[in-house]
C-alpha cells in the first residue's frame, strides 16, 4: 500500500482552484458568451502565481481543451507550432539579369 504524498504541486497554489470549472471550460450558445467566459478566466490567470507552471504543463501534455496558463486551445496550438518550427534564416539575394537592385536610381 502506498502512502499519500505530502509534496506540493504547482496546482496547489493556483488561484483557479476555488473558481467554477465551467469558467475555464466554456460552453456557450454564442460567440459573445464564449469570449466573455474566456476573458473572465484569463483575468483570473493574470493574477495567478503559478500561471507559467500551468502553461508549461498544458503545453507539455498537449492539453486540448480549456483555459490553461492564460491561453486558449488555439493559442497553445500556435505556441507549440512556433516552438517546433525550424529557425528562419535570411535567404541570399539572387540577382537575375535585368533586375534593378533595390535603392538604385532608375535611369
Q: Is residue 39 part of a domain?
A: yes
Q: Is residue 102 part of a domain?
A: no
Note the pLDDT of residue 104. Answer: 60
Q: Is residue 93 part of a domain?
A: no
SS (H, E, C) the chain: CCCCCCCCCHHHHCHHHHCCHHHHCCCCCCHHHHHHHHHHHHHHHHCCCCHHHHHHHHHHHCCCCCCECCECHHHHHHHHHHHHCCCCCCCCCCCCCCCCCCCCCCC
Structural domain total, the chain? 1
Binding site as annotated, residues: 16, 45, 48, 54
Binding site as annotated, residues for [4Fe-4S] cluster: 16, 45, 48, 54
Note the pLDDT of residue 51. Answer: 97
Q: Is residue 14 part of a domain?
A: yes
pLDDT by residue for the chain (107 residues), tens only, comes to: 555 667 889 999 999 998 999 999 987 667 888 889 999 999 999 999 999 999 999 999 999 999 999 999 999 999 999 888 777 788 787 777 776 766 666 55
Q: Is residue 95 part of a domain?
A: no
Note the pLDDT of residue 15. Answer: 94
Q: Is residue 79 part of a domain?
A: yes
Rounded to two decimals, what is the model's pTM?
Answer: 0.70
Q: Is residue 4 part of a domain?
A: no
Q: Is residue 107 part of a domain?
A: no
Note the pLDDT of residue 88. Answer: 75
Structural domain including 80 reads 10-84
Amino acid at each position: 500500500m502506498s502512502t499519500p504524498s505530502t509534496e506540493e504541486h504547482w496546482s496547489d497554489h493556483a488561484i483557479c482552484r476555488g473558481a467554477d470549472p465551467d469558467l475555464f471550460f466554456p460552453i456557450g450558445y454564442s460567440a459573445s458568451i464564449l469570449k466573455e467566459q474566456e476573458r473572465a478566466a484569463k483575468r483570473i490567470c493574470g493574477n495567478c502565481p503559478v500561471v507559467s507552471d500551468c502553461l508549461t504543463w498544458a503545453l507539455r501534455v498537449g492539453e486540448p481543451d480549456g483555459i490553461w496558463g492564460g491561453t486558449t486551445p488555439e493559442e497553445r496550438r500556435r505556441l507549440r507550432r512556433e516552438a517546433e518550427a525550424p529557425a528562419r534564416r535570411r535567404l541570399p539575394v539572387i540577382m537575375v539579369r535585368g533586375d534593378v537592385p533595390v535603392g538604385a536610381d532608375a535611369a
